[in-house]
Structure 1
Amino acid sequence: MSVAALIVAAGRGSRAGEGTPKQYRDLRGHSVLARTLTGFLSHPGIDRTLVVIHPDDRDLYEAGIAALTPLPSALLPCVYGGHTRQDSVRNGLEALATSSPDIILVHDAARPFVSPKLIDRAITAALRSDAAVPGTPVTDTIKVIGSRSEVVSTPDRASLRAVQTPQAFHFPLLLDAHRKAAAAGLHDFTDDGALAEWAGLPVQVFEGENGNIKLTHPADFLEAERRLKGSLMTYITKLGTGFDVHAFGDGDHIWLGGIKVPHDRGVIAHSDGDVILHALTDALLGALADGDIGTHFPPSDPQWRGASSDRFLAHAISLVQKRGGIVDHLDATLLCEKPRLGPHREAMRQRIAEIAGLRIDQVSLKATTTEKLGFTGRSEGIAAQAAATIRLPEGNA
């Protein structure tokens, strides 16, 4: 049986932050992609390996695999991907169709810790079934929610698995499934196992590995660096708090948590007056002991007039990262009589997570009134308080 590996490296990796696509970023002297490729090129069960890249990344690709020089003959010339991950995988499969391997393993370039044992299990699983994906047990309780964020059901964790790559298939069956999906005008499958399910193939789940992490967020890269360093770095936990307030003025909306919220008043502010993002920014700066938002973005500076507050939060996040730190959690409480937070909470959590490069479960938002007391109780203004928990390497704390 011939086995080929298809490495998907055509994505942009926007959640990992601005800059070079994550698959080409450096991990202790080698690119993420080079480390991923090494796992497959060194495995005796893999006959050949093909990488699918973005058309704009040819120079990055050549530089990224320079550590593999001389290039192994098992590494085929790369091919260009498409508009979606599904299109990119199909392009890779079509390139392999001329030599048509028996088994194909599809793997994300951003999973550089794939182990030989996991590859062994993937190949074995493909020999036993038409399609197979690695999965790990889910430890958190999962909720299925409706359109209004209400809980619809709570699945039994025992029947749930978090799916990884490499995913293993009989090559002709996966190629046929991809061609059928494209012919049907479907291009948005983000997982080859799901596409195989759509095509009617029985998909089995084999044992994955917790260490087979996908580098998605900035914190994942820090974790990968520590793992490759091979030593335990001591981190100091820091907690910072923030508070912001703005008076109401004329207007028909306010900005809260990075979201434009319709309201019968506006706020009086130098920037866009987003009290939630301002409080979170100050909380992060407090955890760093690095002044406050006014220190970094003086109200006297005209360049910040009307500025979008997501720039302030992103700046504070970047300061944490520059010191080798990790943001563990952001928590904010809105204080006002109205508008109500509930209808916008999840959109705000998602937006804050995007700005900060965090998972949504690392962002908490709450709201309270002041029982008609004070300026917020009289609807004269709006306020927010926040807390940020970060970890800094000992010596940078």
Structure 2
Amino acid sequence: MNIAVIFAGGSGQRMNTRSKPKQFLDVHGKPVIVYTLEIFQEHKDIDGIILVCIESWIEYTKELTKKYNLTKVLDVIPGGKIGQESIFLGLKTVYEKYDKNSIVLIHDGVRPLINNNVISDCLDCVDKNGNAVTIAPAIETIFRKNEDNTVGEIFKRSDCLLAKAPQCFYLKDIYNAHLKAQSENKYDFIDSASMMQYYGYKLYTVEGPIENIKITTPSDFYIFRAIMDARENLQILGF
């Protein structure tokens, strides 16, 4: 089976929104999280979705899945105190209910600009190599900051990639990595890729669209809305 584990547990503090977390903000009358879920819902090779959510928003989220006919959402569960714990809870739900050889696609609920090709390429990469980390090329200069706030080593852009999502693994591999991390009391991994690399896995990349942003700040939200406006205008013009 191919199961998407979608993390929608952020409170959106950097968005400065008081009424709703960022994943539930509307664009053209539809919440951001629904745009994300629909991509996985419509992909022919995705068998199910586990959604990890803020506990107080679970009932609202379930209402959204019914309203938008998101039939592949198998369960909506509460997240943990930190991202790593929330991802583990999603993986644990899959592990307890489905084949241990399933492929899991770990994705941010506020990353709605992936497409079917990215999902297909990720599944093919896992089948061939055992894992897949979605990336995009670095388009700006990256350097290391020195302790005195001066510019340190400057990296060649051609040598740098930006880690995106989904990040995809065989369920048994990523689940066991989480168990190892817990046994070692390590809760500081920035994402699943960093955890898997730490435990000795060679990671393989799949290039996705540069616009595959994570909506974290108000400017990210406005970029997403502008992209959706442009897509709608192109449809109206028949392109």
Residue 81 (structure 1) aligns with? 79
**Residues 186 and 192 (structure 1 numbering): CA distance in 2 closer, same or farther, change over 3 Å?**
same
Answer whether contact 2:122 2:134 (CA < 8 A) is retained. yes
Q: Distance in 2 between matches of 1:77 and 1:137?
A: 34
Q: Pairwise CA RMSD of aligned residues?
A: 1.6
Answer whether contact 1:33 1:65 (CA < 8 A) is retained. no
Residue 34 (structure 2) aligns with? 34
2:155 aligns to what SS in structure 1? coil
2:113 aligns to what SS in structure 1? coil
Q: Could you tell me how far 1:97 is from its partner in structure 2? A: 0.6
Q: Say which of 187, 208, 233 aligns to 1:231.
A: 233
Residue 16 (structure 2) aligns with? 17
Tell me the alpha carbon deviations over residues 151-183 of structure 1, each in whole angstroms, 9 at most, x when there is no partner: 221122111101110111111100000111111
Letter of the structure 2 residue corresponding to residue 162 of structure 1: L
1:88 aligns to what SS in structure 2? helix
Q: Distance in 2 between matches of 1:151 and 1:221?
A: 30
Residue 8 (structure 1) aligns with? 7
Residue 93 (structure 2) aligns with? 95
Residue 142 (structure 2) aligns with? 142
Counting aligned pairs with the same residue, the percent is 27
Answer whether contact 2:8 2:53 (CA < 8 A) is retained. yes
Answer whether contact 2:137 2:210 (CA < 8 A) is retained. no
Answer whether contact 1:8 1:89 (CA < 8 A) is retained. yes
Letter of the structure 1 residue corresponding to residue 233 of structure 2: S
Tell me the alpha carbon deviations over residues 272-306 of structure 1, each in whole angstroms, 9 at most, x when there is no partner: xxxxxxxxxxxxxxxxxxxxxxxxxxxxxxxxxxx
Alignment of 1:305-344 (within 5 A): none
Larger Rg: 1
Residue 237 (structure 2) aligns with? none
Q: Distance in 1 between matches of 2:220 and 2:161?
A: 21
Task: Name the one with the larger helix percent.
Answer: 2
Alignment of 1:359-378 (within 5 A): none
Alignment of 1:275-290 (within 5 A): none
Answer whether contact 1:131 1:193 (CA < 8 A) is retained. no
1:127 aligns to what SS in structure 2? helix
Unpaired stretches in structure 1, ≥5 consecutive residues: 233-397
Letter of the structure 1 residue corresponding to residue 47 of structure 2: D
Q: Could you tell me how far 1:57 is from its partner in structure 2? A: 1.8
Residue 169 (structure 2) aligns with? 169
Q: Could you tell me how far 1:4 is from its partner in structure 2? A: 0.7
Matched, 1:211 2:205: no
Q: Could you tell me how far 1:14 is from its partner in structure 2? A: 1.4
Matched, 1:158 2:161: no
Residue 321 (structure 1) aligns with? none
Q: Distance in 2 between matches of 1:67 and 1:227?
A: 24
Q: Distance in 1 between matches of 2:222 and 2:195?
A: 32
Tell me the alpha carbon deviations over residues 53-110 of structure 1, each in whole angstroms, 9 at most, x when there is no partner: 12222233234434323x41x2112111111111001001110012135211000000
2:204 aligns to what SS in structure 1? strand
Unpaired stretches in structure 2, ≥5 consecutive residues: 235-239
Letter of the structure 2 residue corresponding to residue 95 of structure 1: T
Q: Could you tell me how far 1:116 is from its partner in structure 2? A: 0.3
**Residues 211 and 152 (structure 1 numbering): CA distance in 2 closer, same or farther, change over 3 Å?**
closer
Q: Distance in 1 between matches of 2:104 and 2:45?
A: 11
Answer whether contact 2:135 2:163 (CA < 8 A) is retained. yes
Letter of the structure 2 residue corresponding to residue 178 of structure 1: H
Q: Distance in 2 between matches of 1:81 and 1:135?
A: 25
Answer whether contact 1:33 1:64 (CA < 8 A) is retained. no
Residue 183 (structure 1) aligns with? 183
Task: Specify which structure has the bigger relative contact order, considering alpha-carbon pairs within 8 angstroms and separated by 6 or more residues.
Answer: 2
